[in-house]
Structure 1
Amino acid sequence: MATSEENVLVVPRSLFDELGSFQGLRRPAEPYLEKFLLKENNSFLARSLAENDPSFKQIIPYCVFTHGDRILHYVRGSKSGEKRLVAKGSIGIGGHINDTDESQASFDQSAYHYAVKREISEELSLTGGFTERTVALINDDSNEVGAVHLGVVHIVTLESDQVSAGEKAIAELGFLTIEQLRERRDNLETWSQIVVDAWDTL
């Protein structure tokens, strides 16, 4: 077949366990990221393999956008790349890191941060500037999606609340307070639930 398959950034599950695996949210993220982003510790794997192989963790930047005291929320539409999360509410914008982000076979810190900025520019159209900080990691081994992914939580503080979706997978985009998000917690995807529950500590 001539179709070119997406390759995604992965680290061995064994490395995650060695550094200290956990369930839920863990901060700070840096001790993990420093090890994950050493070129000898990561690689790219065909997504069809990675999605079904829990011996690897796919590294997923998970960017939470804020303006004032409000948090950007959306619903994953039918065009979402992760079919298992369609129709779920989310406060995380992000996705897989692909080998198109780096011409070599593995990934380092500078390539990672470039990929995060690329992901932001693809997913959203912003009218103002922003600042971004890495705050935590998310792991959820309780379901088949979470078992093969590891989230890196970035909080992105926006200068303007004029934001629009750059992809059809993002529907019903709008800002909500943390209280409003807590009220609809049961409708959120698991990672967003974890972030909302820990919001006061981030």
Structure 2
Amino acid sequence: MSDEEEHILVIPESVIAEIGTIDGFEPDVDRFLKPILASDQLSFQPRGAMETDPSFKQLIPYVLLQWTDQDGVVKLFTYTRGGGSGEKRLHARRSVGIGGHISREDAAGGADPYRTGMQRELAEEIQLGAQYEESQVGLIYDPSNDVGKVHVGVVHLFVLAGPEVSSNEADLADGGFVAVEQLKTESDTLETWTQLAITALYS
């Protein structure tokens, strides 16, 4: 059974602690991410064990899709986490982040597992038909809950030329673009990482 379990990319918490402290949203991506991705301590471990072991952090690409409409209103693609195979502890919360775990299979053929995994997650979760400019804008770590204790999010911002995005999965329900200002007024319906990202990037 263990041979069939998904193995996911993790880094020991001690490696991050040697670099510094991530508290909520950390805008200095390169300070942390470059040494993390270059570390010989990166490994693929069984997902089941990692979900309850905060001595390791799972690296999660968290992609925000931003589009500005013809009236100059800045919007983000948002969805409600449904009942699919994803992180069940987050269900029924609104999110602006697309992404998920980096799996051992993403390293096949000598590929860059982080980049390959991010693109795979995007292709699985959404149809993205618009051109975009991409940047890495922050890291998120929130140990205030059981999910947050074992995950570190890498926030990527895709600035889209148009709104051509749709959900691929039932787990991403009610997908569509919502004005950032509206999302700010509905923060109590948003998952924690989404709250942190919006506050940091659009305050």
When the two structures are superposed, what TM-score results if normalisation uses the length of structure 1?
0.92
After superposition, the Cα gap between the structure-2 partners of 1:131 and 1:114, relative to the gap in structure 1 and judged at 3 Å, is farther
Residue matched to 2:148: 146
Q: Which residue of 1 aligns with 2:71?
A: none
Amino acid at match of 1:88: R
CA distance in 2, matches of 1:36, 1:131: 24
Counterparts of 1:2 and 1:199 in 2: how far apart (Å)? 40
Aligned 8 A contact 1:60 1:150 in 2: yes
Alignment of 1:182-197 (within 5 A): 182-197=184-199
- The reply to whether residue 52 of structure 1 matches residue 52 of structure 2 is yes
Q: Distance in 2 between matches of 1:111 and 1:46?
A: 16
1:7 aligns with 2:7: yes
Supply the AA of the counterpart residue of 1:87. A
More off after superposition, 15-24 vs 46-55: 15-24
The runs of at least 4 consecutive aligned structure 1 residues that moved more than 6 Å come to: none
| Counterpart residue number, 2:78 | 73
- The answer to whether the 8 Å contact 2:132/2:160 transfers is yes
Q: Deviations over 1:27-63 (max 9, x none)?
A: 1211211111115120001000100111000000000
Aligned to 2:105: 100
Q: Report the secondary structure of 1:41's partner residue.
A: coil
Distance 1:15 1:169 in 2: 33
Alignment of 1:82-97 (within 5 A): 82-97=87-102
Report if the CA contact (8 A) 2:104-2:113 is conserved. no
SS in 2 for 1:40: coil
Could you give the per-residue CA deviations for residues 67-110 of structure 1, whole angstroms, max 9, x where no partner exists? Answer: 11111110000114100000000010110000010038xx98x4
The amino acid across from 1:91 in the alignment is: V
Displacement of 1:2 after TM fit? 7.5
Deviation at 1:119, TM superposition (A): 1.7
Which AA in structure 1 matches 2:36?
F
Structure 2 spans left out of the alignment, 5+ residues: 69-73
Distance in structure 2 (CA, Å) of the matches to 1:89 and 1:47: 24
What is the distance in 2 between the residues matched to 1:161 and 1:152? 23
Q: Does 1:32 align with 2:28?
A: no
What amino acid does structure 2 have at the position aligned with 1:76? R
CA distance in 1, matches of 2:57, 2:113: 18
| TM-score, scaled to structure 2 | 0.92
Q: In the alignment, which residue of structure 2 is the partner of 1:122? A: 124
Alignment: residue pair count:
198
Structure 1 pair 112–3 and aligned structure 2 pair: CA distance change class (3 A)? closer
Does the 8 A contact of 1:80 with 1:86 survive in 2? Answer: no
Alignment RMSD = 1.8
Superposition pairs for residues 169-188 of structure 1, below 5 Å? 169-188=171-190
The answer to whether the 8 A contact 1:35-1:41 is kept is no
